[in-house]
Structure 1
Amino acid sequence: MVLSSFRPARTLLLLVAGLALLGTVLFFSWPAGIVLGLTGGVAAVIMIGHTMARQAAAEPHDGHLDLTPSVEVALRDDVRRLRRSLGDDYADFVRAAVLVVGSQWASVAALQRGLGIQQDRARRLLSALEDEGFVGALTGTHARDVLIAQEDVPQLERLLVR
């Protein structure tokens, strides 16, 4: 979920910023500014966490592809666009997507071993998978998060192979 979708959270972030500014201004009347800044900041962060947890619980998402007819039409258009943009690399992209979603492991090394390709090519494919929303962003040396459930491999293959 994206933070921008949490309206109360954005309001609370503005509150934190305001309290931090107020704490900075009151810093010169030291300990009051420090105490106000710390207390207000911690309280606001706790409120943001509780608000986000409540909203996340209210909007359950099981990670499965929801392919209603209108969504499938939109996805077909995206697949056509992707086919045009990747050109000859599209077949490798499909193989990489199926491998990553099927194994739930997205790393350069896994693509190299699974597809028998060079490291730079595996990096480009992983970047393309991130651009298209199949995997999450790079987080240091860890494998990327796979954003599509493993059970959706048959639907994914059907959609991409068309």
Structure 2
Amino acid sequence: MGMESRVLNSLSDDHLGRLAPSSSLRAKSRPRTFKSVSYTRGWIDKQPFVEGGQEWECLAEALYFEARGESVKGQFAVAEVILNRVKSPLYPNTVCGVVNQGTGKRYQCQFTYTCDGNPENINEPSAFRRVGKVARLMLNGAPRLLTGGATHYHTTAVRPSWAKKFPRTADIGVHRFYRHPRS
């Protein structure tokens, strides 16, 4: 089931008009040059909601399940990690490849929501709209200046063994960010 189907199946009829962009917005999304990005809720809420293809779906879904409770800055930071992995030869070269790496092996994947056995339902449409905007902006070339090139992160609630071996590059919200030593 695609992202749009999961989103639409989890929303009531009164949310559909607000979530689905007009057909003109669904048309080609052109990369643009960013003069500045403000990592605030007010700024992101003023940005248009524009869907994209499969890469947008994968990034928006990952941000929803991994960072919807974080600040906008934290959401951009998680998106940076995913895109930094796409650019690294150590990981798959697509957003969907990075997000789904290891999926199929319970709790042995890169992003826990893809292999924890729980259904991926979008139950918070406003949170999905916000992370969808972050995903679109990042895929359109928003600057990646928050994490110092991080390829990994974890919440402060856990202490993965790899974190001792990787240089920490940033702390944002409840996430700690790290760069793979060979990246």
Higher normalized strand content (fraction of residues): 2
TM-score by length of 1: 0.27
Larger of the two Rg values belongs to structure: 1
TM-score by length of 2: 0.25
